[in-house]
Amino acid sequence: MQMPHKIDNRKRAWWKESSVYQIYPASFKDSNGDGIGDLKGILSQLDYIQKLGVDIVWLNPIFKSPQIDMGYDISDYYSIHEPYGTIDDVDALIQGLHYRGMKLVLDLVVNHTSDQHPWFVNARSSPSSEYRDFYIWKKPRYDENGQRHPPNNWASYFGGSAWEYDEPSGEYYLHLFAKEQPDLNWENPRVREEVYKIIRFWLDRGADGYRMDVINFISKHPDFPDAPIKNAASKWQNASEYYSHGPRLHEYLHDIGMILKEYDAFSVGEMPEVKDTNEILKAVGFDREELNMIFHFELVDIDHGPGGKFTAGNWQLGDMKRIVSKWQTFMYENDGWNALYLENHDQPRSISRFASDLPEHRVLSAKMLATFLGFQSGTVFVYQGQELGMPNVPWDWTIEKYRDIETLNHWKEIPGTQTSLHEASLREYRLKGRDNARTPMQWDTSPNAGFSTSDPWIPVHEDFHTLNAAMQVKDPESAYHYWSRVLSLRKKFKDIIVYGSFALVSPEHPEVFAYVRRSEDGNALVVCNFSPRPVQWTVPEDVSDLLKEGRVVLSNYSPSCDGLRAGQSVTLRPLEAFFWL
Ligand code: TEU
Ligand code: CA
């Protein structure tokens, strides 16, 4: 058994002991009846958020945007998307959160801008524009028949080539996402200076930090080489090896880190595609002075098939154990830090994806996953509605109900005659589409779940009549109150839960995810049955020390598992989870 490290007090930090509530502004609460969520709507729910026990609110993008990609296409970093409200509303939100002892984290999207940003409008106007090299322009390639082609074979995440041809100049510009999201050229010092101004502006305004969108993509391989063929069925290839940890990434992140350090600001970097822990440690290592933590994608990509996200992929609990254990032990042994999440605005609902969303299982699943995630080491992120156990959209959703560019572009690429591919794709959208997390927050049983007095921009999930915040705040046995107990236990026993070591227990068990947390301050055992059926679990010897004292402190069953002893065979009920301390 590994002896836990003595906690080095220099390594304690408020952002390690905090938990974060993520709000998707368009879908949280509409205050003015236009069917779109807004800042005043968020302001009206601060007490609900505070009662959950979170410390920080992360807002998805709120800046001026044509909304091609729900605000991840920014046309002005200094003004607010009009339907969301005004900069005065932001000030009021900062004040309201600070008054309640909470903090505000904004979403910094600086790998790319909107094509409507004045920088790009100017850049596109002429090759000699002073903003031309704010973006990445390359000459075409021509084949032996004189056919024009993009500069390389890189694929966009939203379908097709990552290059868009600009007729007047005869050049292409790079867009790793939609063609309306041109990538910024970070090699240009003027771009970096402009970004650093944006960072300072909102921190000076009172914001407390940033979530940084695909921040590992900002440094590209200088030669922009063709990517190896990974998907022979496509002309365009995922080229993430050439942009997900480029040559100057840590130079740029350190520049950002030094600004954040001046403000003791919170930072979490979104880092898709990177699986190498040592690469990630360069960004989050204690003495690196870059970012506090990052979102890796290993867990949320677990069910992606061979042909990409919207192809069938299978996962076993063993895969999840390998991934979680890798990140938990690596960061503990190397002074790094984890951002813990199972849901966000890009991911399907976790009870549907990782547990069971049958009506009779939803609360059990939500509590089991709260136990699974909430007692790991790292900073916990809860996405709006996750605290209620909101499930994915209904199976009968047709393509007309979807709103997300990633889904709609994928659908458009399916040849009209392939009805079987249409059906398979609709199934994949229902399983993994981003709109699963973007249906309106369910407040009560009034029309549109109390989200809006008008038809919302995206359909409400019809289960709001029995699954909503009003009911759960009143019910002490709800998922909402279970989450608040998890978050308060984290604070009460932070030396074990936040700072302690991690080790799997019963690693071979196909349905039970169990782990121990150890510190000089005490030890804890977490046991989660991921199966919706009863399973047998034998209490292993390596926790016998832990069982001599302690008891079940939190469980999703009552009565919970009572006295355990090593060697005992226990029948765990469907989705049963408990925390033993
Ligand atoms: O997501 C980056 C990203 O990797 C995701 O688009 C991911 O590839 C996809 O969602 C997998 O389903 C960030 C934002 O979170 C996302 O909402 C934006 O669409 C994207 O960047 C572009 O800004
Ligand atoms: Ca509104």
Q: Which atom of ligand 1 is nearest to the CA of 72?
A: 23
CA dihedral over 437, 442, 448, 453, signed as positive or negative: negative
Compute the distance between CA of residue 148 and CA of residue 135 in angstroms, rounded to an integer: 21
Q: Which ligand is nearest to the CA of 31?
A: 2
Compute the distance between CA of residue 388 and CA of residue 357 in angstroms, rounded to an integer: 12
The CA-based angle 69-60-382, given to 5 degrees, is 125
Compute the distance between CA of residue 424 and CA of residue 187 in angstroms, rounded to an integer: 42
Residue 536, amino acid: Q
CA–centroid distance, residue 359 to ligand 1 (Å) = 30
Is the pLDDT score of 393 beyond 70?
Answer: yes
- Looking at residue 113, what is its pLDDT? 99
Query: For the segment 397-409, what is each residue's pLDDT rounded down to a tens digit?
Result: 999 999 999 999 9
Q: What is the mean pLDDT of residues 325-354?
A: 97
Query: For the segment 545-579, what is each residue's pLDDT rounded down to a tens digit?
Result: 999 888 999 999 998 887 899 999 999 999 999 99
- Looking at residue 307, what is its pLDDT? 87
Compute the distance between CA of residue 365 and CA of residue 482 in angstroms, rounded to an integer: 12
- Looking at residue 563, what is its pLDDT? 84
Q: Which CATH architecture has domain 118-174?
A: Alpha-Beta Complex (3.90)
Residues with CB under 5 A from ligand 2 (ion): 30, 32, 34, 36, 38
CA–centroid distance, residue 35 to ligand 2 (Å) = 6
Instruction: Please name the helix (run of DSSP H) or strand (run of DSSP E) that holds residue 425, with its range, or none.
Output: helix 419-432
Our answer on whether the CB atom of 504 is closer than 6 Å to any ligand 1 atom is: no
What is the percent of the chain where pLDDT is above 90? 94
Query: For the segment 56-106, what is each residue's pLDDT rounded down to a tens digit?
Result: 999 999 999 999 999 999 999 999 999 999 999 999 999 999 999 999 999
- Exposure of 254 by Cβ count < 10 A (0-12 exposed, 13-18 middle, 19+ buried)? middle
β-partners of residue 577 are 528
Q: Which atom of ligand 1 is nearest to the CA of 158?
A: 6
Q: Whose CA is nearest to atom 17 of ligand 1?
A: 346
Instruction: Please name the helix (run of DSSP H) or strand (run of DSSP E) that holds residue 580, with its range, or none.
Output: strand 577-580
Is the pLDDT score of 179 beyond 90?
Answer: yes
Is the pLDDT score of 247 beyond 90?
Answer: yes
How is residue 55 written in tokens? 């410390």
Q: How confident is the model at residue 288 (pLDDT cuts 50, 70, 90)?
A: very high
CA–centroid distance, residue 553 to ligand 1 (Å) = 38
Q: Which atom of ligand 1 is nearest to the CA of 432?
A: 12
- Looking at residue 1, what is its pLDDT? 60
- Looking at residue 290, what is its pLDDT? 97
Q: Which ligand is nearest to the CA of 37?
A: 2
Q: Which ligand is nearest to the CA of 404?
A: 1
What is the percent of the chain where pLDDT is above 70? 100
Q: What is the mean pLDDT of residues 335-363?
A: 97
Where are the chain's structural domains?
Answer: 17-112+189-482, 118-174, 501-580
Is the pLDDT score of 3 beyond 80?
Answer: no
Q: Whose CA is nearest to atom 20 of ligand 1?
A: 72
- Looking at residue 111, what is its pLDDT? 98
Reported in sequence order, the residue ranges of 184-318 that DSSP labels E, i.e. its strands, are 209-212, 266-270, 293-295, 304-305, 308-312
Our answer on whether the CB atom of 576 is closer than 6 Å to any ligand 1 atom is: no
250-254, 379-383, 542-546: range with lowest mean pLDDT: 542-546
The backbone torsions φ and ψ at residue 211, rounded to the nearest 5 degrees and listed phi first, read -100, 130
- How many helices, marked H, and strands, marked E, lie in the chain? 17, 24
Q: Whose CA is nearest to atom 11 of ligand 1?
A: 346
Q: Whose CA is nearest to atom 2 of ligand 1?
A: 214
Q: Whose CA is nearest to atom 12 of ligand 1?
A: 346
How far from chain centre, in Å, is Cα 251? Answer: 25
Query: For the segment 431-483, what is each residue's pLDDT rounded down to a tens digit?
Result: 999 999 999 999 999 999 999 999 999 999 999 999 999 999 999 999 999 99
**Continuous H helices in 355-404:** 362-374
Mind spelling out the 3-state secondary structure of 86-102?
A: CHHHHHHHHHHHHHCCC
If we measure between CA atoms, which residue out of 195, 249, 252 comes closest to residue 220?
A: 249
Our answer on whether the CB atom of 435 is closer than 6 Å to any ligand 1 atom is: no
- Looking at residue 442, what is its pLDDT? 98
Compute the distance between CA of residue 456 and CA of residue 32 in angstroms, rounded to an integer: 12
- Exposure of 557 by Cβ count < 10 A (0-12 exposed, 13-18 middle, 19+ buried)? middle
Helix axes of 405-412 and 419-432: crossing angle, nearest 10 degrees: 170
Query: For the segment 370-386, what is each residue's pLDDT rounded down to a tens digit?
Result: 999 999 999 999 999 99
Our answer on whether the CB atom of 308 is closer than 6 Å to any ligand 1 atom is: no
Mutation choice for ligand 1 from 213, 349, 425, CB with most ligand atoms inside 8 A? 213
Q: Which atom of ligand 1 is nearest to the CA of 177?
A: 22
CA–centroid distance, residue 11 to ligand 2 (Å) = 42
Q: What is the mean pLDDT of residues 10-32?
A: 97
- Exposure of 301 by Cβ count < 10 A (0-12 exposed, 13-18 middle, 19+ buried)? middle
CA–centroid distance, residue 32 to ligand 2 (Å) = 5
How is residue 526 written in tokens? 């977490």
Query: For the segment 185-226, what is each residue's pLDDT rounded down to a tens digit?
Result: 999 999 999 999 999 999 999 999 999 999 999 999 999 999
Q: How confident is the model at residue 6 (pLDDT cuts 50, 70, 90)?
A: confident
- Looking at residue 561, what is its pLDDT? 82
Compute the distance between CA of residue 398 and CA of residue 289 in angstroms, rounded to an integer: 47
How is residue 278 written in tokens? 């040592």
270 is annotated as an active-site residue: yes
- Looking at residue 33, what is its pLDDT? 98
How far from chain centre, in Å, is Cα 74? Answer: 19
Catalytic residue among 270, 346, 406, 435: 270
Check: CB of residue 162 under 8 Å from CB of residue 175: yes
Is the pLDDT score of 2 beyond 70?
Answer: no
406 is annotated as an active-site residue: no
Helix axes of 277-284 and 249-263: crossing angle, nearest 10 degrees: 40
Measured from the Cβ of residue 357, the count of other Cβ atoms closer than 10 Å reads: 20
Check: CB of residue 119 under 8 Å from CB of residue 197: no
Q: What is the mean pLDDT of residues 303-325?
A: 95
If we measure between CA atoms, which residue out of 577, 500, 502, 512 comes closest to residue 538?
A: 512
* Residue 194: C-alpha distances to residues 76, 186, 209, 271, 361 (Å): 12, 10, 17, 22, 49
Q: What is the mean pLDDT of residues 2-21?
A: 89
CATH class of 17-112+189-482: alpha beta
Helix, strand, coil share (%) of the chain residues, nearest 5 = 35, 20, 45
Is the pLDDT score of 264 beyond 80?
Answer: yes
Our answer on whether the CB atom of 109 is closer than 6 Å to any ligand 1 atom is: yes
Cis amide prior to 559 (ω within 30 degrees): yes
Helix axes of 277-284 and 317-334: crossing angle, nearest 10 degrees: 40
β-partners of residue 502 are 517
The CATH number assigned to the domain with range 501-580 reads 2.60.40.1180
